[in-house]
Structure 1
Amino acid sequence: MESHDFAWAAGFFDGEGWANRSGRGVQSRINQAGLDGVPEVLDKFQRIVGVGRIHGPVIVEGRQPLYFWEATSRPDLTRVVERIGPWLCPVKRAEFERTLGVPLPPVVWPGSLSEELAWAGGFFDGEGSTCLDKHRTHEGFFAPVIYVPQAAENGTAPELLRFRNAVGVGNISGIRRPKPPHKPYRRLRVYTLQKVQLALHLLWPFIGDVKRAQAQRVMQVMHSQPDLPRGNPAFGVAGARCCLRGHDKWNARVRPFKGRGKNEEDPMNHMRQCLACVREDAQAKRNKKRRP
């Protein structure tokens, strides 16, 4: 086994695993549902740590069959932390330290880019998904989304920050508070086809068959639909002086333009829309609301 394997296993445990005392003993477990027998990610985790047993399926009506890896002895848990402890995030490190009553090996991350991507691949195998959202403005079209949630009692979960640092893209949402007994959580999401493809390209060598198949289905839909034109066609060609309604965009501005952020780099960026059209459309919308 090499560092990439341990990093992947740590990421998978950071997403799905837990450790705790059980009566007089100790216990660690990872749950994973699967329709086609034992999920390959559980087999992979067991091979990497070299201990524990896989149990299941547990059948509950209306749910997928549940399988789980479990270790229930102190020597087994010690073996697990020797292998993946240095790559774990703070929450699961603290769980193991409380369970075993001893400090874990020193942290070795952040490692190389490939090692951090291996960790991110394991975390994505446990928590992530690739899905389709309905396009906000074009009916019948879809937009790809990479979705990774993680609970945290305070602030932003370090796992989400580490995942974003590894893949280099993604936005982390504000805190969401579901009804008890669920914990507050935040979501990391990657939007736009280009960014989703970039993230999947980086994660691909390290994610399992289930997440790969899921991503492939999403990409098949995205590449089967025609490309959408950028911007509002009524504004005309970006940067052109006149819009399609004949307004002079260069003289439609009431106040002098003051750029912010990227507009400072591109002084003509504010010409990409027609402010006269914007004002006309806003006035028409207000008039429509006033009608009895």
Structure 2
Amino acid sequence: MADRQRDPALVAWAAGLYDGEGSCSAYLPKFRKTYRRQMAVSQGGDSGTPPTVLLRFRNIVGGHGNITGPYRGYLYYWKTSRKLVIDEIVQLLWPEISPEKRQQYLEACELARIDPEVNTPQTTGGPTDVAWAAGFFDGEGTVGINRLNPTRAPYRGVEMEIPQSSDDGVPKALLRFKEVVGRGSITGPREPRNPWSRLPSYRWRLSGHLNVEATAGLLWPWLSAVRRIRIEWALGEVHAGLKTRPHQGES
């Protein structure tokens, strides 16, 4: 991998994206008696145009892996099942990825009867935390607008959210994100409503245009163009409402 691709902030961003939408698993191919590992990162996008975050991720991990899709009209995957590539990428991301993703990798190695060669402790509380948080938001985050309670504020409000599923309490990645940005609240667990998920869901949520502006400003240097455009649109809609309606506070 080139030195530019080993930039700690870029690696942290890639680890955040992987924490949000990545997975490592093992499957049993036809006519084989041993399991094979695979890594994947998913992301929604427009038909015919691979999401830029997947292209960016692939570039950071040395150009390895293939991007396929769309499936169901919008879903793309970056994937690799090459043994040496998986180990190289995991070694690169290991200091930044969450305990849940580490455990996934270790379980896949056990099924495939491969001895893992990673033992670096997780890195948190350092200068790359914000880049990691931006990658995490690029993977799972959403920005939207809604109409707040008219007795409190008659204009529309802006919200940021990140959902995560877990069968072992609040996901560590959500807790880390909340700590990094210093705002928002985490709710859950809730029973899964999505047919593609079988685990209880949790959600980090932040509302109020001043809060969203501050959080977006923190993450901005590393956020993807897609998330930046969405944030600018949502804040623009809310600011337009503030100009025509009295300001009565935020949630």
Same fold (TM over 0.5): yes
Q: Does 1:135 align with 2:148?
A: yes
Contact 1:51 1:79 in 2 (8 A): no
Measured in 2, the distance between the counterparts of 1:59 and 1:161 equals 31
Measured in 2, the distance between the counterparts of 1:147 and 1:76 equals 33
TM-score normalised by L of structure 1: 0.73
Q: Does 1:8 align with 2:13?
A: yes
Q: What is the aligned partner in structure 2 of residue 218 from structure 1? A: 234
Highest RCO, 1 vs 2 (Cα 8 Å, sep ≥ 6): 2
Measured in 2, the distance between the counterparts of 1:144 and 1:212 equals 14
Give CA deviations for 1:193-228 in whole Å, capped at 9, x if unaligned. Answer: 111111000011111011111101101101111253
Give CA deviations for 1:25-76 in whole Å, capped at 9, x if unaligned. Answer: 211111122116111111111111115323333343xx42x32111111101
Give CA deviations for 1:127-149 in whole Å, capped at 9, x if unaligned. Answer: 00111121112686211101011
Q: What is the aligned partner in structure 1 of residue 108 from structure 2? A: 99
Contact 1:128 1:147 in 2 (8 A): yes
Q: 1:46 to 1:136 in 2, by over 3 A?
A: same
Measured in 2, the distance between the counterparts of 1:76 and 1:164 equals 32
Q: How far off its partner does 1:104 sit?
A: 2.3
From 46, 52, 55, the counterpart of 1:40: 52
Contiguous gaps of at least 5 residues in structure 1 = 232-292
The amino acid of 1:216's aligned partner reads E
Q: What is the aligned partner in structure 1 of residue 31 from structure 2? A: none
Q: How far off its partner does 1:192 sit?
A: 1.3
Contact 2:97 2:122 in 1 (8 A): no
Q: What is the aligned partner in structure 2 of residue 58 from structure 1? A: 70
1:48-87 alignment, distance < 5 Å: 48-60=60-72, 63-64=73-74, 66-87=75-96
Q: Does 1:122 align with 2:147?
A: no
* Runs of 4 or more consecutive aligned structure 1 residues displaced over 6 Å after TM superposition: none
Q: What is the aligned partner in structure 2 of residue 244 from structure 1? A: none
Contact 1:97 1:103 in 2 (8 A): no
**Paired residues, number:** 227
Contiguous gaps of at least 5 residues in structure 2 = 1-5, 29-34, 110-114
Larger radius of gyration: 1
Q: Does 1:170 align with 2:175?
A: no
Q: Does 1:88 align with 2:97?
A: yes
The amino acid of 1:213's aligned partner reads I
Q: How far off its partner does 1:229 sit?
A: 3.8
Q: What is the aligned partner in structure 1 of residue 24 from structure 2? A: 19
Measured in 1, the distance between the counterparts of 2:7 and 2:125 equals 13
**SS of residue in 1 equivalent to 2:76:** strand
Measured in 1, the distance between the counterparts of 2:176 and 2:23 equals 19
1:125-204 alignment, distance < 5 Å: 125-137=138-150, 141-179=155-193, 181-204=197-220
Measured in 1, the distance between the counterparts of 2:90 and 2:125 equals 18
Let me know the Cα RMSD of the aligned residues.
1.9
> Sequence identity of aligned pairs in percent?
29
The amino acid of 1:131's aligned partner reads G
**SS of residue in 1 equivalent to 2:190:** coil
Give CA deviations for 1:93-126 in whole Å, capped at 9, x if unaligned. Answer: 11112223415231241142x4101000010011
Q: What is the aligned partner in structure 2 of residue 249 from structure 1? A: none
**SS of residue in 1 equivalent to 2:55:** helix
Give CA deviations for 1:212-267 in whole Å, capped at 9, x if unaligned. Answer: 11101101101111253437xxxxxxxxxxxxxxxxxxxxxxxxxxxxxxxxxxxx
Q: 1:84 to 1:221 in 2, by over 3 A?
A: same
Contact 1:97 1:104 in 2 (8 A): no
**SS of residue in 1 equivalent to 2:248:** coil
